[in-house]
Amino acid sequence: MLPTELLSHRQNGETIIPKRLPLDSRNLTLANDLIDCFQECVGKRQGELDRILLDFEG
């Protein structure tokens, strides 16, 4: 689950509607790269994943 500050959404009355990213090649590549990061860190420490994700974010 994403933290609130990372969740893009709009509100319609009391309903929160998430904004979705377009399924273009850029976003699909980004998603696959992130999945690879997580898969490579299975069995490793959380700190290592955190460092990799920080590098990934730039």
Provide the 10 A C-beta neighbour count for residue 26. 9
> What value, to the nearest 5°, has the Cα angle with vertex 1 and ends 16 and 10?
20
Question: What pLDDT is attached to residue 19?
Answer: 86
Tell whether 51 is covered by a domain: yes
Angle of helix 46-57 relative to helix 25-40, nearest 10 degrees, comes to 160
Q: How far apart are CA 25 and CA 31, in angstroms?
A: 10
Q: The domain containing residue 41 runs over which residues?
A: 22-58
Domain count, the chain: 1
- pLDDT, tens digit, 9 for 90 and up, residues 12-52: 999 988 888 888 999 899 999 999 999 999 999 999 999 99
Does a structural domain hold residue 9?
Answer: no
Strands (E), the chain: 9-12, 15-18
**Taking the complete model, does pTM exceed 0.85, yes or no?**
no
